[in-house]
Structure 1
Amino acid sequence: MTHDREKPTLMTRMAAAFKGEVRADELEAYRRAGGFVYTQLEQAEALRRRLAQDGVDLWHGPQAAAGQLLCTWSAFVVQSIGEHLLDADYAADPQTVGYVPEVTRRQVAACFAQVEGWVSRARQAASNPAYLVERELRLPAGLPEWAEADPCPLPHLRGMLAAARAVREHAEVTLGVFEQTVVHADRYKADLQRLRQLTAEAATSADYAEGLLDADPGPRMHEAIEQRLQRALESYYHLGQLIAMPRLIAGYRGRAARPTARPAPVPVPVPVVSPRDLDPWCLTGRQQRAMLQADPRARQAIKEMWRSDPDPAATVRVQAQIDAEFEAGAITYATDARGRRLGSHYSCPWGSIYIVLRPASIGGRVLHAMQQFTFKVSAPETGGFTREIVVSNFSHTSKVGF
């Protein structure tokens, strides 16, 4: 569902400000852009039926087709979660339609940020039989990080429940079709039983959360409901991926078995930095480096950035971690839906835009698969110096900040 809205009135802005809500314009733009997920889903279901009619065994059949199904499912789930969170918040308070609480903004942004990457991979798999997404990503992939709030707003919980209902319906139908079309069911009895078990686990969490929500819970109950809805959505997310690529089932140990510890950063030498040895362009994306080096404004901006850095070694260390994770294959350069590299961030020091292929720890921050990020270093006019890993949904721009 989309919302065609006029420019927010003064009363709407005042009501949103009073409640501490933020504008959702960008989120709505990403919602509209991701609407093609449903066309992709129809194409994936047609592919699934065609494979079944041909008696194709997805355990050992064309893995590109399995990748297409898996990526399409993943895109559908994150798009669905984002849409239902927005709609639930608007329905709960029509007076502030177009505004959402900060926790909802962060969660929706995290979900919508992954849609393009999943759809791109689904299309790559559809167009190239040699493309294997499992060589690129650790599967089954997890959902984006959950945004935290204490207590979680009730409309946010209702949005999670609505998303769980929608995803559950598709997952259960897909499982039913899958079971009916397995050619050698006896051979894969254990795998099919594992899928049914995961379905039962997800359904129990969703049903229990719905029962608690129906009781009009107080704030103290919100966390318990939130945890069960997270568990349900994550389980259905994995279920759809396992149905799409059933050869993953044998190695699947369940949601609870996923590592909870932070991924260890790739070891890098501790840099010893002196002003004489420092390469001032070491943070700048290689594609744009030569162009920027030729620009006097860029040279001055870089010089001022390093001059204000109280600990250049710490800055270089984060970039060394990025380079090490890149060499290890945990991250790579981010691209748009057409496969064009996104290049560098628009502001000094113009670091490359990356996408995470498997969990990594950089600059003290845990990064998850399908997240886009860059390393931003700056000395704000208000004072102080910041070095941070910025996670966002980046797009092309002609803007250059000095």
Structure 2
Amino acid sequence: MEPPTVWTRLRAALSGEQNAETLYAYQRAGGAVHELLDAAERRRFDLAASGTSPFGMPAQVGTELACIWNAFALQTLGDRMLSADETADPATAGFVPPVTFNQVQAYYQDVQRWLAHATRAAHDPHFQPDSPLPAPLPDWSPVEPCPRPHLDAMIAALGAMRLHAGSVINALEKATPEADRGQLAGVRGLFAEAVSRAEYAERMYTPGASQALHEQVEEHAKRAVEALYHAGQVLSYPALHTRQAPRQRPSPGGAGGRAVHVALPGEPGFDPWVMTDPVAAPSLRADPRAREVITEMWALDPDPRQSVALWQDIQAAMARGDVTYGRNGGRLIGHYFCTPWAAIYEAARPVIIGDTPVTRGKRFTIECAAEGVRIGYPFKREVVVGDFKPSRLDYCDPDAPPPHDD
């Protein structure tokens, strides 16, 4: 890039933008990732030619390939953000807003780290990265909504990441022997889900959309980028599929975004009222029928960890200031009528609870109910979004059908 003119510097200073010289230096240095990506493709081809199943590749090779993918994905995100900013504001080319500077710098610095890990793995069969694989994406910049060029860049990056991941899954399909087809199905499903998220965000995206639409597309695009980043690591090193996906650190990062640890049923310190509205919990604890029902809810929940994860998402969002308790005229709305009798919350900023996007100003809660489970109805676990009105307490009887099905 040509050195910025005096007028460019003046415009950038007036708009509070930062000199991106360091970012462009990172960009040039990280360009080596594309050569490593080509080398990774050759390594994958050689393994297939030797008859080695992708699910039996040496850990050394798998670690190297996953690290290269991470470097490629982050380099792509950084490059697209710089390019999108240049396109959006050519008058200050070479300078970027502070939020863009911080986000791109975080990507590029991680590129260097993952490139170093890939090189180390190629020479040391015992090497383990400092971040366990599969690793989470770096934190999103703590700005809501994100600048429009960031959204443009995410959509462009999704296309590039999806294209490369698609070539990798095709190679896996060809190289996986019949004995490993069952494992391949799981990896294929992970990739399909990530692609579905990407395509959904891309279909929603419209350049110059209204602010309300921009915020909704942004949340879908972020989740799609995170999903593809994770899927790409698993496609590169299929043995990672058996490891738990990293819980993405919510934006903004820091201690306030970490999930609260919660003891599960059977573990020391387990509290069956943990998800209940703290204001209502004391009176519900004194209700013998409520105590019986909350015990049944946990006993009949096929996956308590998933239920708790929804509550953890809310607690992390509250710690960040993204979510508050819902109020009417300054008074707390209270709790939901069905188990676990959780509080009614309100989104101060757009958030994702589980897989459910909640736009700013919307009220929501969580429902985990065993209603009708003993007579064949499925356990109900969901984020409920809507307008909430006073209602009579529901004990969610496992031996009776839900009221709407009675």
Q: TM-score, normalised by structure 1?
A: 0.59
Equivalence for 2:273:
none
How far the C-alpha of 1:5 sits from its partner, in A, is: 1.3
Match of 1:37 in 2: 33
1:169 maps to 2:163 = yes
Higher relative contact order (CA 8 A, sep 6+): 1
For 1:68, the equivalent position in structure 2 comes to 64
User: Which of 172, 177, 180 in structure 1 is aligned with 2:174?
Assistant: 180
- Give deviations 1:201-233, integer Å, cap 9, x for gaps: 222322232233226312233322222111111
The corresponding residue for 2:135 is 141
Q: Distance in 2 between matches of 1:56 and 1:132?
A: 21
14, 17, 25: which one pairs with 1:18? 14
Shift of 1:255: 5.8
| Residue in structure 2 matched with residue 285 of structure 1 by the alignment | none
Q: Do structure 1's residue 203 and structure 2's residue 195 form an aligned pair?
A: yes
Alignment check: 8 A CA contact 1:143 1:237 kept: yes
Q: Deviations over 1:133-180 (max 9, x none)?
A: 26x432200111111223321111101111111111001111111111
Structure 2 residue 78 is the aligned partner of structure 1 residue 82: yes
Counterpart in the other structure of 1:192: 184
Distance 2:75 2:249 in 1: 26
Structure 2, unpaired ranges of 5+:
251-256, 262-318, 321-406
Separation of aligned partners in 2, 1:5 and 1:86: 15
Check if 1:226 corresponds to 2:218.
yes
- Structure 1 unmatched ranges of 5 or more: 265-363, 366-402
CA contact (8 A) 2:66 2:233 kept: yes
- Superposed counterparts of 1:1-400, under 5 Å: 4-6=1-3, 8-128=4-124, 130-133=125-128, 136-184=130-178, 186-189=179-182, 191-214=183-206, 216-253=208-245, 261-262=258-259
Query: 8 Å contact 1:63–1:132 — kept in the other structure?
Result: no
Distance 1:43 1:137, change over 3 A: same
Q: Describe the shift of the 1:178–1:168 C-alpha distance in structure 2 as closer, same or farther (beyond 3 A).
A: same
Q: Do the aligned residues in 1 keep the contact of 2:99 with 2:143 (CA within 8 Å)?
A: yes
Q: 1:110 to 1:254 in 2, by over 3 A?
A: closer
Q: Number of residue pairs matched? A: 258
Q: TM-score, normalised by structure 2?
A: 0.59
| Aligned residue type for 1:187 | D
Q: Relative to 1, partners in 2 of residues 1:9 and 1:215: Cα closer, same or farther, differing over 3 Å? A: closer
Using the alignment, how far apart are the partners of 1:23 and 1:263 within structure 2? Answer: 38
Distance in 1 between residues matched to 2:36 and 2:148, nearest whole Å = 32
Q: 2:164 is aligned with what amino acid?
A: H
Match of 2:264?
Answer: none
Name whichever of 249-258 and 114-123 sits farther off: 249-258
Q: Deviations over 1:288-337 (max 9, x none)?
A: xxxxxxxxxxxxxxxxxxxxxxxxxxxxxxxxxxxxxxxxxxxxxxxxxx
In 2, the alpha carbon distance for the partners of 1:168 and 1:114 equals 20
Distance 2:145 2:131 in 1: 34
C-alpha distance 121-256 of structure 1, shift in aligned 2 (>3 A): closer
Report % sequence identity.
37
8 Å CA contact 1:71–1:118 kept in 2: the answer is yes
Find the aligned partners of 2:66 and 2:136 in 1 and give their Cα distance: 12
Greater Cα radius of gyration, structure 1 or 2: 2
